[in-house]
Amino acid sequence: MSRLAVINPNMSVGFTDKIRDQAQRTIYPHNQVIALNPDFGPDSIEGYYDEAFASVGLLSVIRTLDPTGIDGYVVACFDDTGVDAARCLTHAPVMGLCEGAIRFAQALAGRYAIVTPMHVSVRPLEHLVRKYGADRDCVVRAAGVRTLDFEGENAAMAYDALYQRAQKSLHDDGAEAIVLGCAGMTDIADRLKSDLGVPVIDGVQAAIKMVEGLAELKLATSKHSTYGTPPAKSYHGMFDGFAPAFV
Amino acid sequence: MSRLAVINPNMSVGFTDKIRDQAQRTIYPHNQVIALNPDFGPDSIEGYYDEAFASVGLLSVIRTLDPTGIDGYVVACFDDTGVDAARCLTHAPVMGLCEGAIRFAQALAGRYAIVTPMHVSVRPLEHLVRKYGADRDCVVRAAGVRTLDFEGENAAMAYDALYQRAQKSLHDDGAEAIVLGCAGMTDIADRLKSDLGVPVIDGVQAAIKMVEGLAELKLATSKHSTYGTPPAKSYHGMFDGFAPAFV
Amino acid sequence: MSRLAVINPNMSVGFTDKIRDQAQRTIYPHNQVIALNPDFGPDSIEGYYDEAFASVGLLSVIRTLDPTGIDGYVVACFDDTGVDAARCLTHAPVMGLCEGAIRFAQALAGRYAIVTPMHVSVRPLEHLVRKYGADRDCVVRAAGVRTLDFEGENAAMAYDALYQRAQKSLHDDGAEAIVLGCAGMTDIADRLKSDLGVPVIDGVQAAIKMVEGLAELKLATSKHSTYGTPPAKSYHGMFDGFAPAFV
Amino acid sequence: MSRLAVINPNMSVGFTDKIRDQAQRTIYPHNQVIALNPDFGPDSIEGYYDEAFASVGLLSVIRTLDPTGIDGYVVACFDDTGVDAARCLTHAPVMGLCEGAIRFAQALAGRYAIVTPMHVSVRPLEHLVRKYGADRDCVVRAAGVRTLDFEGENAAMAYDALYQRAQKSLHDDGAEAIVLGCAGMTDIADRLKSDLGVPVIDGVQAAIKMVEGLAELKLATSKHSTYGTPPAKSYHGMFDGFAPAFV
Amino acid sequence: MSRLAVINPNMSVGFTDKIRDQAQRTIYPHNQVIALNPDFGPDSIEGYYDEAFASVGLLSVIRTLDPTGIDGYVVACFDDTGVDAARCLTHAPVMGLCEGAIRFAQALAGRYAIVTPMHVSVRPLEHLVRKYGADRDCVVRAAGVRTLDFEGENAAMAYDALYQRAQKSLHDDGAEAIVLGCAGMTDIADRLKSDLGVPVIDGVQAAIKMVEGLAELKLATSKHSTYGTPPAKSYHGMFDGFAPAFV
Amino acid sequence: MSRLAVINPNMSVGFTDKIRDQAQRTIYPHNQVIALNPDFGPDSIEGYYDEAFASVGLLSVIRTLDPTGIDGYVVACFDDTGVDAARCLTHAPVMGLCEGAIRFAQALAGRYAIVTPMHVSVRPLEHLVRKYGADRDCVVRAAGVRTLDFEGENAAMAYDALYQRAQKSLHDDGAEAIVLGCAGMTDIADRLKSDLGVPVIDGVQAAIKMVEGLAELKLATSKHSTYGTPPAKSYHGMFDGFAPAFV
């Protein structure tokens, strides 16, 4: 039995609830999952500035949870906010939605498109895609809506914009599968798959399955270099309590 | 519940047995796995020539199994023999050991090494690594032994050669994790992890976990283009029975 | 004097005849060329599945021919079907149409387009182009017709679709030359060159000239690693007769 | 006249003083420079974990300074900590030491080496180098000392380790110039240049010159997409005061 | 105080005058700049053929100037004509307009477009962009006018074509900043920036600032390998006087 | 029947004679070849500076020869001196030794090494290799001798240095074939092949075979963009006679 934590690095409780629902539907019955968000930080993550603050929130959650025995972490944001830092902090495997979704997409299609809500996210996601070695097979497109449009009264409009952009990408980019480029879309994968007739990959589900697999195999993050435990040192001011004090 | 098939594309029953044992230890208890090999083809796969024949054997097994309701396939060879063709043949997800192991390694380490038995495999594996977009993070090294040395009286010598090469790669290449570059090493991951002190990834286990995840999420191979179902046509001579006759 | 073999890896005698005509027109008068196809396998090659079977057919032909003293092989399929395996099997140089055509195109134009009949071939050809290191200079486009359309009553329609797609690529992609992306187009290079006003490269001709050159210089495939002779071993069942038994 | 701010994102006042000295020696006489560090955060930055906290400290300094009219920012850390987020926050140009040093090195040498103190920094710096498009010309090596060794009683030992590693890189890697891979080495460029006989580039100086140039030309960060101003939203808890409230 | 030379490698005195004006406006008041062109060679540089002759003209100017004590050179052509050879000839830093402009653009925008006058320049500039490691972030587009159109009666038309192409690139390519792809546009950066609302980078200004910075820091071209001083040897015929005779 | 011109761009008559001998041995009997060098320029080409002058010499020869009906040009220098400019000047195909040798090597080996005389050539050749898309399969090494050492009393020493370096590359780099990285080595390919036991590719021979093939197929350089005919314009001073005056 593995215990997983899915962490929404922003403060939107609505998102966290939606992600928790998806996580509970996704996880194998013999495993356990908790979903939570930090108790400080931004309401949503739209670009590098929000991401810097959300990273600290993410790390604060992991610091609290880790001693309770978590076997794997999912960072429930498509920007993979703070994943590298989180890998330094814990021995348990850590994965963001973008990495998880890309790994599954690469196994299912020769070319695929990430469709994300806002234009401002396109270049940062392209940088992630390149970091993950997928830039020759993956294009990033924006539906031209805001993240929060997928909830409430704009939801139908947002879905339509997403559908249109995905459809266009199948035709113009030669995409063969669609990756949902935002944690907030986690509940519409099935509908979109049915409407488009191609695989639609939700990062929440993909990352959970990857981390469940890693945890089951007792595979831990290497502490040999890149993700080595931070050397002990002093932190000051409002970060005083976050100093690494590891062996 | 998912039914998985792990196919060893060569004729070595010893290998198939070892892989079956590993698969049964690896699979989630609510799933089922069968492990088998073709009834024709080479005794082992060492280079492109053997691979061409083993690919047909692999496809023959999938043609037989697919109508029985298989939810995912693992191609239990580190060359990922015939994986592209297999993806055209079935809707179920298909993964080879190299792809599976790389996806897990990428989540655990900034740089890692595949250690394979024979020098002759280095360049073909480098081509695979490049195809998977991992060539900037992954090196391929050879232990200088033959695949079958990992069984029988040479096993201790083979393990030692593997250990020495992996150790050297941690030091000289900056590798932070080791990927076992051959299906026949599937039973030594734990020992090597213990001896080296870094994560050791076995492709059999990694690919099974990836495919279990894909199957659980009902994610199928896209039929939109790259892996589209082969158009109906005639095959002749000894391949007469292999003609595609799909809708 | 060199003896070349041009092998069509599928069973279409019409294609083989067309390729033989082109080969005989192309070869230097002091050399000899034979053109043939296997006596088993698929009628045409459209995607990875057909390719797996055609590879074995190709190897069967080379096994028969090689002891008769062949100085070079052309694999007359634009997918470069089985070329890597063939290079392991024989010491004589081996080249597929895609590789040959790309090498010539690279010398004539800063950017060029491969125009192939079917959309399903675009991604596999893009993978080949990447393997050959040409992906920054070469785009792959589909005319939207089937391979066999270039023969018989659809030939005029197929030519027109090819012409339109090539024209569009000159304009939209900045292509400066066109590569014919299918062995079946081998007889229309001159017409298309005349209609478009840019170089048009036929892979059959290009690969023959490359292999004639290699053979003339007595340059053989390196047996040092990647294309090393397969180690002796047993093959079973219907592949019993294909076991490598080399020194 | 331009006003520049050089921000050391960690809390080491010794480093900030050293950087201020270098900045004042480096800046054109008609410009002004201030050097400072945040009033909270880690004492040094050694890996991704420290970097996440230092990024917030960096942003806090820029939020305070920006309304006072700063024409350009240098982030005085070789990890380029928080540079992307900083570019979203201000219109003034922002540059980290790694980017600045690489741009100068690329103009002076066909191949060059970054020599950084700790092995743990090698992979993160390689990722930066790749992001900046310099990975084919630049290698990253570690001297095997800690950052703070360049001050105090270990300074001679640290210099010697740096010198030896640089010398080895000139010989083994074909490096033709050396980049100092840490802000704390900013005062030893001249000595090392003299000892090695090749150009030695200090990131503090290089980044200052780049930013002075950008500021002089009134070139601002594009707000069109990647570095667009963060949309207004609420931040909570200890980050309450950092919410973006821009037009 | 540094002395800079800005060399227009073609014979257009009108261009040289325009570049001199821009250089004098751009340079820091404590530095000196001279702008000149060779006394032989082509009237303009449009493609590789003109470039070969202009390179020799450039070198002839540097041979004359270098003994007078020049601290840095700008090659005032966007093709970076002869820059590699010039770096071999002198110890002073040398930079072309394309390299300078790209380095500044990379600091200001996630993606940017070079807009050049003629279509024939697109591929050569793409090769330069790739050489500088910027091909994943930079697109090259042509306005469809001739270089000399930016002077005289066609100037309004040429500006409009440039504006339209840049506008289209912001929209279609996701460009966030514009680089002026020709020395002859050096006087219109401000106007275009104002019309487009994004940063517009003029290579003359950018390269001058880069070289001023390098010169101020006493950073010289490495003579270790790539840009090593040419070994002494005889030159004959009309190049008799250009033989390298360096220590 | 094709008429080929092999142009040695430097003034070494000894080299030209050696190249002419090789060319005459290499060319098909039904073709004709002339070998010559410019009547001005440097005695040898060692780096970018010499190359700039030799490019003009090369173009001068082509301007004289082209109206006499040449069907293809080989630039007999391993730096591929002036090849891009030459392709603008003539419709006939043009190839340098490096490009020709690489295209043949790519067909024979999975990895190969260029062994060149001087260390100073390594980086420029690496840039060429990258331009040709071969940098993932090809390494460049230096034997540590001068070009002219392959003639006269140092010839035995030079051969031995070359042999040792090639041998080391087979072992350490995994090279499977050797490319001779200098026109002056053109007569030792057979001996080295015999001593090493792997294919050894001489660029003179390879480029001649490539150009013979292109010429036989009536394939001309595309004039569509990159290699477009230079627009008519005035040249001045000592280059007065080189002005392009094409239609």
- The answer to whether E155 contacts chain F (CB < 8 Å) is no
Q: What mean pLDDT is predicted for residues C191-215?
A: 98
Chain D residues in contact with F135 by the CB 8 A cut-off are: 136
The CATH number of the domain covering residues in B98-203? 3.40.50.12500
Chain B residues in contact with A132 by the CB 8 A cut-off are: 106, 133
Chain C residues in contact with E135 by the CB 8 A cut-off are: 136
Q: Which chain E residue has the Cα nearest residue D99?
A: E107
* Residue F237, amino acid: G
Q: Between E84, E85, E235, which is nearest F41 by CB?
A: E235
Mapped onto helix, strand or coil, the DSSP state of residue D176 is coil
For testing contact with chain B, the best of A4, A192, A209, A223 (most B CBs within 10 A): A209
Topology adopted by domain D3-97+205-242:
Rossmann fold (3.40.50)
Q: pLDDT band at B247, cuts 50/70/90?
A: very low
The per-residue pLDDT of chain A, averaged, comes to 95
Q: What is the pLDDT of residue D148?
A: 80
pLDDT, tens digit, 9 for 90 and up, residues E151-196: 889 999 999 999 999 999 999 999 999 999 999 898 899 999 999 9
Tell me whether chains D and A touch (3+ CB pairs under 8 A).
Answer: yes
Q: What is the pLDDT of residue D219?
A: 98
Q: Is the pLDDT assigned to residue F242 strictly greater than 60?
A: yes
pLDDT, tens digit, 9 for 90 and up, residues D7-61: 999 999 999 999 999 999 999 999 999 999 999 999 999 899 999 999 999 999 9
Q: What is the pLDDT of residue F247?
A: 43
Q: What is the pLDDT of residue D246?
A: 57
* Pairing, β C178-180 against β C200-202: parallel
Q: What is the pLDDT of residue F246?
A: 57
For the domain made up of C98-202, the CATH class stated in words is alpha beta
Closest-CA distance of chain B to residue F110, Å: 7
Closest-CA distance of chain B to residue A41, Å: 26
Question: Nearest-5° angle of CA F226, CA E52, CA E166?
Answer: 45
- The answer to whether E95 contacts chain D (CB < 8 Å) is yes
F partners (3+ CB pairs within 8 A) are: B, C, D, E
Q: Which residues contact E228 (CB under 8 A, 6 or more apart)?
A: E88, F47, F120
Q: What mean pLDDT is predicted for residues F191-209?
A: 97
Say yes or no for a CB contact (<8 Å) between C26 and F217. Answer: yes
Closest-CA distance of chain F to residue C45, Å: 23
Q: Is the pLDDT assigned to residue C25 strictly greater than 90?
A: yes
Say yes or no for a CB contact (<8 Å) between F233 and E127. Answer: no
Query: Buried b vs exposed e over E101-136: b needs ≥16 C-beta within 10 Å?
Result: bbbbbbbbbbbbbbbbbbebbbbbbbbbbbbbbbbe
Q: What mean pLDDT is predicted for residues A42-58?
A: 95
Q: What is the pLDDT of residue E184?
A: 86
Domain boundaries, chain D: 3-97+205-242, 98-202
Q: What is the pLDDT of residue E247?
A: 42
Q: What mean pLDDT is predicted for residues A22-36?
A: 97
Topology adopted by domain C3-96+205-242:
Rossmann fold (3.40.50)
Q: Is the pLDDT assigned to residue E4 strictly greater than 80?
A: yes
CA distances from E60 to E40, E90, E213 (A): 9, 12, 25
Q: Which chain A residue has the Cα nearest residue E110?
A: A123
Q: Is the pLDDT assigned to residue B182 strictly greater than 80?
A: yes
Q: By the 8 A CB rule, do B225 and A110 touch?
A: yes
- The answer to whether A93 contacts chain B (CB < 8 Å) is yes
Q: What is the pLDDT of residue A65?
A: 97
The CATH number of the domain covering residues in B3-97+206-242? 3.40.50.12500
| % of chain F surpassing 90 pLDDT | 90
The per-residue pLDDT of chain C, averaged, comes to 95
pLDDT, tens digit, 9 for 90 and up, residues A159-185: 999 999 999 999 999 999 999 999 989
E partners (3+ CB pairs within 8 A) are: A, C, D, F
Say yes or no for a CB contact (<8 Å) between C136 and E130. Answer: yes
Question: Which F residues 176-195 touch C at CB under 8 Å?
Answer: 176-177
Residue from A147, A49, A117, A119 nearest D246 by CA: A49
Q: Do domains C3-96+205-242 and C98-202 have the same CATH topology?
A: yes
Question: Which E residues 193-222 touch D at CB under 8 Å?
Answer: 198-199, 201, 205-206, 209-210, 212-214, 216-217, 219-222
Q: What is the pLDDT of residue B184?
A: 87
Q: pLDDT band at A23, cuts 50/70/90?
A: very high
Q: What is the pLDDT of residue D184?
A: 87
Residue from D59, D234, D91, D62 nearest A45 by CA: D234
pLDDT, tens digit, 9 for 90 and up, residues B51-101: 999 999 999 999 999 999 999 999 999 999 999 999 999 999 999 999 999
Q: pLDDT band at B151, cuts 50/70/90?
A: confident
The per-residue pLDDT of chain E, averaged, comes to 95
Q: What mean pLDDT is predicted for residues C145-174?
A: 93
Q: Which chain F residue has the Cα nearest residue C221?
A: F108
**Token duo for residue D44:** 């040094």
Closest-CA distance of chain F to residue B139, Å: 13
Q: What mean pLDDT is predicted for residues D168-181?
A: 96
Q: What is the pLDDT of residue E245?
A: 77
Tell me whether chains B and E touch (3+ CB pairs under 8 A).
Answer: no
D partners (3+ CB pairs within 8 A) are: A, B, E, F
The per-residue pLDDT of chain D, averaged, comes to 95
**Token duo for residue C29:** 């008068």
Q: Is the pLDDT assigned to residue B33 strictly greater than 70?
A: yes
Rounded-to-integer distance, Cα C222 and Cα F136, Å: 18
Q: What mean pLDDT is predicted for residues E80-100?
A: 98
Say yes or no for a CB contact (<8 Å) between C239 and B40. Answer: yes
| % of chain C surpassing 70 pLDDT | 99
Q: What is the ipTM of this complex?
A: 0.96
- The answer to whether F110 contacts chain B (CB < 8 Å) is yes
Chain A residues in contact with E174 by the CB 8 A cut-off are: 122-123
pLDDT, tens digit, 9 for 90 and up, residues D184-200: 898 899 999 999 999 99
Tell me whether chains D and C touch (3+ CB pairs under 8 A).
Answer: no
Chain C residues in contact with A174 by the CB 8 A cut-off are: 122-123
Q: pLDDT band at A246, cuts 50/70/90?
A: low
- The answer to whether F246 contacts chain E (CB < 8 Å) is no
Mapped onto helix, strand or coil, the DSSP state of residue D139 is strand
Chain A residues in contact with C123 by the CB 8 A cut-off are: 110-111, 174, 176
Say yes or no for a CB contact (<8 Å) between A214 and B209. Answer: yes
Q: What is the pLDDT of residue C134?
A: 97
Q: What is the pLDDT of residue A247?
A: 43
The per-residue pLDDT of chain B, averaged, comes to 95
Q: What is the pLDDT of residue C246?
A: 57
Closest-CA distance of chain D to residue F127, Å: 9
CA distances from B98 to A32, B128, F40 (A): 30, 8, 57
Chain D residues in contact with A79 by the CB 8 A cut-off are: none
Mapped onto helix, strand or coil, the DSSP state of residue E189 is helix
Task: Kindly give the residue spans of alpha helices, DSSP state H, lying in chain E.
Answer: 13-26, 48-65, 83-89, 97-108, 122-131, 155-172, 189-196, 203-216
Secondary structure string (H, E, C) spanning chain A: CCEEEEECCCCCHHHHHHHHHHHHHHCCCCCEEEEECCCCEECCCCCHHHHHHHHHHHHHHHHHHHHHCCCEEEECCCCCCCHHHHHHHCCCCEEEHHHHHHHHHHHHCCCEEEEECCHHHHHHHHHHHHHCCCCCCEEEEECCCCHHHHCHHHHHHHHHHHHHHHHHHHHHCCCCEEEECCHHHCCCHHHHHHHHCCCEEEHHHHHHHHHHHHHHCCCCCCCCCCCCCCCCCCEEHHHHHHCCCCC
